[in-house]
Structure 1
Amino acid sequence: ELNKESRIIKLTVLGEEVKLNWTLFNKNGNYRVQYDNVAADQIASDILNGTGYTLAECPTTTLSMRFEYAQRWKALQKLADVLGKDLWLDSSGVHIGDKGLAKTLTYFKTVRKTEDSENIINKVHLLGTGDGINQYTATAEDIDSQNAYGLRERAYMLRDIEHEDTLLLKAQKIIADNKDPVEHIEIEAPFTSDSLTLDVGDTITINDAELGLNGDYRIKRLEINPTMIKAELVNTIALLSDKLKEYYNGLESLGVYAQGATNLYSVQDSDNADPDHPLELKIYVPPEAIKINRVKLNLIVGPFRAYSKAVLGGGAVIGTSEASAANTSVSTAASESKSLSLTIHDISEYYAELVIVNHWTNSYTNDITITDSEGYSATTDHNFESHGSYVYSWKRQFSSRKNSVTIDVQLSDTAMDMTLLVVHDGTHTHDITLPDHTHDIDFGIYEIDTGATVDIAVNGTTVKTGSTGETDLDITQYITTGWNTITFTPSDLARIQASVFFQVFIQSR
């Protein structure tokens, strides 16, 4: 604008950074950009990508943030604000750091000093993304300020912040900038060549006993003309009062940032298990679950369950063996057989014990005949319950030593598992005769209750031992996003039924 009479030319100049507000930040065409635990300098580099501007400096602090249709310069402002740093642009590039140098003014006068204690904040609550109990929160406070000025408490919505560490970092910055009264000092000084080196953000040390000033103050506003400089100094450059409208009114973000929803679901499994083969329940929690509210485990420990049995066998004579020892215990066994035989050599006495086991699911009655080659004979009968057993024992002593004695066992009707244990003082041989036999398929559901208890572990951490069942066992603290493994190890054969209930908050993306 040219004033011909006074020959004064007025220019309106826009900073170079205005160009960074001409375009919106997007990544691969996506204008909703999410960062989870990403270094701040990487975020800043992404914002500047394709603009022709380079990043000169930025902290490497790890942050979690989201941008939605944000102008690039405003996105950088948001990043700098969370970091508690200054943002500026010069010939070397974009800076996110601490702006300003320590400068000296030799002659100046203090025009006015004001102190603002109305906007002190010494305790702040920030609310990030989410709703209700799923909302991220962070609280920071300064006890010394509270003792000096009383409790000054505020709460603000910052729904675009999606990580508690980032939210806490911002809360701490607010307290650091606003826990003390803000001092405004307006000064004037003669123009010198050094005046041209001053810049907003520079620090000037002022000692003015008359006004009670003694400390470092940063230049907030600077005006330079050919005869004089005027500057407004403050004891903090980041005034919350200057940013309330832009950052903390908590309203503009409500319509911009999609939130999410609380999800309820359950995962179940049931199977037979034993100490060597535990039941493992695999559960996946997606990374979008930003809050795991509740995880409850329900468990039923029941009888081991089988469904059918079928057996087919052919006759055979299973090899013989011979050994010699004094006072030796020997045994022989027959599986699903009706006969069993054991020969012992060069003995004068023996003690025998016969164990018969009914492995079938039905009950059977068998006549049992036991003989030896030296005239011993015994016959008895027994009603074998399902999976029941019977033990018969006897002892023989001879008046003279025998070259060999053969013991035979015969069942009348149903083949069963037999074991014969003999303690003797000689050598022995034995053979087992398995006659041809078949068994019908026995369909049905069969259970055996062993009284087993269960040990419970979540992701390798033991949660409960000796459990006989659980209702709403809280395992929330052991569950994380990603794959989780809940292991149920019984003390014996058992059937395990497990159900896990989840309440998680899934964030919209």
Structure 2
Amino acid sequence: MSVKVLDRQFKQVAFLENAFGIGYEKRINELWSAHFSLPLNDQKNEYCQPFNYAEIIDDRTGEYIGLFRIEPSLVTKDESQQKVEYHMFHVAITLLDGVLFDYHQTDNRTTRYNIEYILSHQIVPHFVLGDCAFTRYFSYKFEDENGLLGPLFSIPEPFDEDYIWEYDTTVYPWKLHLRKPSNEVECEIRYGNNMVGIEREYDPETIVNRIYAKGYGEGVNALRIDSVNNGIPYVEDAASIQKYGLRPYIWTDKRFEKAESLKANAQALLKKWKDPIPMYRIAAADISSLTNEDIHRLKNGRIVRVVDDELGTFEQRIVSEKKSDMVAKPGDIQLQVGNLTEDIATLHSDLTRRQQINETYSQGATNLSNHDFEDNADANHPAVLRFYLPDEMVRINKLYLTFETDYFRAYSKSAKAGGGVVKSTSSGGGQTTSSGGGQTTSSGGGTSTTSGQANGYAVTLIPYLTDEAIPSGSSHVHGVVVDAADLDHWHTVNISPHTHTVANHTHTVSAHTHDINLEPHTHPLEYGIYKHNELPTQVSIKVDGQTVPYTSLSAENLDLIPYLAKDSQGNVVRGPHRIEISPNDLARISAQVMVQFFIQSRGGTRA
């Protein structure tokens, strides 16, 4: 058995030939541990500093046990022994050095992407991803994680089949593999051959005798079995309940979209879970170095066939492999053997009990919400969008405004009208007063000439009347024949330059009304869309009353989260919000608000 010590730059600084009490424990999908001791007076203790590394190799078999990081040591000194005991963890513990500060979320990404995303946050990139046997699309969220190991190990937890993390620290950067373990029997423990002792423990915590089944859908919208199970949302085993008491469990599998199939699989799982699942602790002899038979290699993650005269024969997976002293007792090995998950494709009901499908595991789902609006606006009448952020929003990832400014648009048409009387009434008389006289002056005199005939007759009778008596009798008339041409004549009038003066005066109008009668009539209809011929030069944007420093006439994906109303913790307030866009002239605003958020499905009804 050999132990080599490496410094933090992975340079070998010591070979511990005096090491004793060398041991290790490997638990499936957990952090491995190891230990060794040195004499108290061994000078090489000085190289075993915390955070240096120790590489352990089994010299008998040539098996590479692993690379571990040295943790603080324990000094033991008494009459019987004087030693320094060193405890170590596998170098996967270096993943505890990094952090995921603040909020991190990935949506519908492959398993490889999610693992590499977490590994990218290492302070020193010790690990890279090697094999990844799974391609699943899940959403994950992490917030303020101290250490990367927990988030990393949580990536495959929603999987509905067995998986195993494996490491290759013989190369650098070290390789991390996520693989599917074999479901075939690979090794054997038989009483009288390599079995030293066996213990069987039934854990009552594993009993499930009532299963509430949920399938495709989210929250209150998830598929249930009520409709095919007499209105009851669960299946149960009465005998198990009678024997162990009620042990309910909510089982979710989003693959199922039909209630009949969901119920059938729930019944199959109930049959498997209604009785305790045994855990076996087996003390065995590692005889693989003697037989060189692979069937005698008892390694973590393998399916082992256990043959015992009293307990019978069963096949289960090794979940823990431990050797406490590889120097003094190289053949002693302690194993824990747990329940074997059957093949999904064969049984159609093989989900492990710890299965957590994405929506259950991550406690929500990512959604997109779009709000569109169009409206005419000007400087005094903004285009307004009101939208609501519900309390179920766990996180608002994005809230973007996209808009453009177009010409103001009007819709016009004439309307039919009937006859009627239009009356205007003054409230009293009215008076107009000039402030002084007025004067009009001509620029000079003028001449006017007229001509004519004697009534247009060829002969004109001119009467002669007198008040004096005529000697021979009464008044009388003499007729004279005159040629009409002799009566043609002209008059000429000369007008000298002059002025007309108007004295100060007022005009008074008494109170009165005007009645206008309109006969019944119609106006012809004229449809059309009319646009203003000018655009504004800038806009003003307000979000929850806060002005956004942006004035251009269009924008694409303008981030509004900094301007939304916040609570005392600096988080966006859940509830109603308001966006106003005001152009400095008549315009038409076309806008869209896109919200990406992580939401929980709580509350509501199944209407």
Kindly name which structure, 1 or 2, has the bigger radius of gyration based on alpha carbons. Answer: 2
**What is the TM-score of this pair, normalised by structure 1?**
0.40
Structure with more of its chain in strand, by fraction: 1
**What is the TM-score of this pair, normalised by structure 2?**
0.34
Compare relative contact order (CA 8 Å, sep 6+) and give the higher one, 1 or 2.
1
